[in-house]
Amino acid sequence: SNESKPTILVSEKLGSAGIELLKGFGDVDCSYDLSPEQLCERISKCDALIVRSGTKVTREVFEAAKGRLKVVGRAGVGIDNVDLQAATEYGCLVVNAPTANTVAAAEHGIALLAAMARNRNATFYCNKRLMENGFPGKWQRNKYVGVSMVGKTLAVMGFGKVGSEVARRAKGLGMNVIAHDPYAPADRARAIGVELVSFEQAISTADFISLHMPLTPTTSKVFNDDTFAMMKKGVRIVNVARGGVIDEDALVRALDTGIVAQAALDVFTEEPPPTDSKLILHENVTVTPHLGASTKEAQEGVAIEIAEAVVGALKGELSATA
Ligand code: MLT
């Protein structure tokens, strides 16, 4: 057994309670904003790496680790930024923090849904805008008539932890909630009063669509020209999952033709998105910079959850959860 303390590299900001927990077990190196080259250089001296979504843990990183790296911890749910195939080949465990930010993501989804329905982006996203353009000239009460949520059909695409919390909250708003998920247990849906339907049925009957699926080869660009064409004209879409599940060029086209009336997006194929992104600049699009998990409570919880998982893995207590 290895007598010396393990070295744990934390490459993105992690809540202090998690850092303290890690320090009780190993040497903690918090180095944010490493370039891919710097990460590859540093990694050969590390037993564990903890990331959020900003660090791409590529095959090159595992190669550069030269067999020393035992575990990658993802301080969050989505592990699409970790090359799982390469991790397996190099015998490295990948663990995530599967529960601590569920509610934060669901709350952000609901917030975006409500904001979008009432044109918050156009009117108040930047409060300054009302002032800059001169009161009362921009006090445009008639221009920004919204839509109601009560009685509307919401399709929750992906009925896992976040999707089901969104569904529960949307029911509280008086929405008719349907969901699509090839793996969801029917009893969980029934308990919340949600009908599980096919992908086609979900997207073709919904007034609002909220995305909660992981990004995998199967879900990549599953919202594309073909599937947008199946939607009800004037549908409104929320994405707090992963940008890559949407073909963003197709979404711009769907917004331009009015198939999609509005979109509220927290996540993008490329983060941050290019500054000339037609999607971000579209007047019917509301954006936030990947804030779904960003509450004080969630970040503290995630930090502890991932620190415990990584320490457990280093002690040999855990097998991969991800
Ligand atoms: C997640 O997968 O949990 C989120 O994207 C959280 C994050 O990276 O902040």
What is the ipTM metric for this complex? Answer: 0.92
- Provide the pLDDT confidence category of residue 1 given band limits of 50, 70 and 90: very low
Residue 174 scores a pLDDT above 70: yes
- Asked if the 102-287 domain carries CATH number 2.60.410.10, the reply is no
SS (H, E, C) 243-278: HHHECHHHHHHHHHHCCEEEEEECCCCCCCCCCCCH
Let me know if the fold of 7-100+297-314 is the same as that of 102-287: yes
C-alpha atoms less than 13 angstroms from C-alpha of 28 in its C-beta half-sphere: 21
Q: What is the pLDDT of residue 136?
A: 60
What is the model's pLDDT at position 57?
Answer: 98
- Which stretch of DSSP H or E encloses residue 165? helix 161-172
Whose Cα sits closest to atom 4 in ligand 1? Answer: 76
7-100+297-314: CATH architecture: 3-Layer(aba) Sandwich (3.40)
Query: What mean pLDDT value characterizes the chain?
Result: 93
Question: How much distance in Å is there from the Cα of 2 to the middle of ligand 1?
Answer: 32
More confident residue, 82 or 127: 82
From the CA of 291, how far away is ligand 1's center (Å)?
Answer: 8
Q: If you measure from the C-alpha of residue 53 to the centroid of ligand 1, how many angstroms do you get, rounded to a whole number?
A: 6
How confident is residue 131, by pLDDT bands cut at 50, 70 and 90? low
Q: What is the pLDDT of residue 121?
A: 73
| Three-state helix/strand/coil letters over 179-190 | EECCCCCHHHHH
**Lookup: tokens for 187:** 């009893």
CA nearest ligand 1 atom 3, residue? 76
Task: Please give the Cα distance from 300 to 16 (Å, whole number).
Answer: 7
Residue with tokens 């409500």: 114
The protein residue whose alpha carbon is closest to atom 8 in ligand 1 is 53
Q: Name every protein residue with a CB atom under 6 angstroms from any ligand 1 atom.
A: 52-53, 76-78, 101, 292-293
In whole angstroms, give the CA distance from residue 125 to residue 114: 13
pTM above 0.95, yes or no: no
139 pLDDT higher than 80: no
Binned at pLDDT 50, 70 and 90, residue 18 comes out as: very high
Ligand 1: residue of 55, 101, 299 to mutate (most ligand atoms within 8 A of CB) is 101
**Residue ranges per structural domain of the chain:** 7-100+297-314, 102-287
Distance CA 246, CA 55 (A): 21
Q: Please check the confidence at residue 94 and state whether its pLDDT lies above 60.
A: yes
Contact 258, 284 (CB under 8 A): no
Q: How close is the Cα of 1 to the center of ligand 1, in Å?
A: 34
| Catalytic positions, written as ranges | 242, 271, 290
- Mean pLDDT over residues 138-147, rounded? 82
